[in-house]
Amino acid sequence: MTRLELDKLPLQDKLRLMESLWDAICHDATGEPEVPDWHVPLLEARLARLDAGDETMSDWEEAKDRLRAQAKPR
C-alpha cells in the first residue's frame, strides 16, 4: 500500500489497519523489540507510579474503545 493510498483511507480504516499491524507485531515469533535507552527511565518511572498506586491500568479492549471514542468526529 502506498502513502497516497493510505492518505485516501478514512480515519476508521487507518485505525483498523494500524491495529492489525500492531497485533501482527505483537504476535511475531521473532521476539520482543528492543527498548531504546531513552525509554528506560520513562518506563521505570511509570512502573514506580503504578506500584505506588498513583497510576491505573486499562485492559487492551478498554483502551481501544476509549481511543476509538476519542477519534470519532464530534
The string of pLDDT tens digits covering residues 28-49 is 767 777 889 999 999 999 999 9
Q: What confidence score (pLDDT) does residue 32 get? A: 72
Q: Where are the domains of the chain?
A: 1-33, 35-74
Q: What confidence score (pLDDT) does residue 26 get? A: 80
Chain centroid to CA 71 = 14
Q: How far apart are CA 46 and CA 35, in angstroms?
A: 15
Type of residue at 40: V
Residue 72 has pLDDT above 70, yes or no: yes
Confidence of residue 9 (pLDDT cuts 50, 70, 90): very high
Angle, CA of 62, 11 and 56, to the nearest 5°:
20
- pTM for this structure? 0.44
